[in-house]
Amino acid sequence: MSGYDPAAHDWRALRGAAMPGGLGIPWAKKAGDQWLYGLLTGPEHANPAGAVHGGVLMAFADHGLSFLAWEAAERAPCTTIQLNSHFLDAIQPGEFLELRGEVTRRTRGLVFVRGVIGARDEHN
């Protein structure tokens, strides 16, 4: 398991917004005018090849980006209608996921967001 301690790096746990399926508690942190979202990973998030399962990454992306959409929609109920992904590298269990996202467009009925997930270990 990672030695990375989000609380020691000004992250706060969003205990009231747990990930579905017992995937964990997301973390949040304000960096300038941007919100960042995080998730501690562990062995329970691994796929048979030993990397964090792509489904965990997609669920985390959907969950974190929904916070941005919800705020942009003035806290009205939101539903994901499309979620696309490109996996560029494997993330190892024990790394801390960090999502940086942004609202790219808002119409009367839709909010468009995009984000990038990276990983931190105990050394960064």
Task: Determine contact, residues 48/93, Cβ cutoff 8 Å.
Answer: no
pTM of the shown model? 0.91
The mean pLDDT value for 21-30 works out to: 95
The burial of 19, by beta-carbon neighbours within 10 Å (0-12 exposed, 13-18 middle, 19 or more buried), is given as: middle
Would you say residue 109 has pLDDT above 90?
Answer: yes
Q: pLDDT tens for residues 6-16?
A: 999 999 999 99
Residue 120's pLDDT is: 77
In the three-class reduction of DSSP (H, G, I as helix; E, B as strand; rest coil), residue 87 is classed as coil
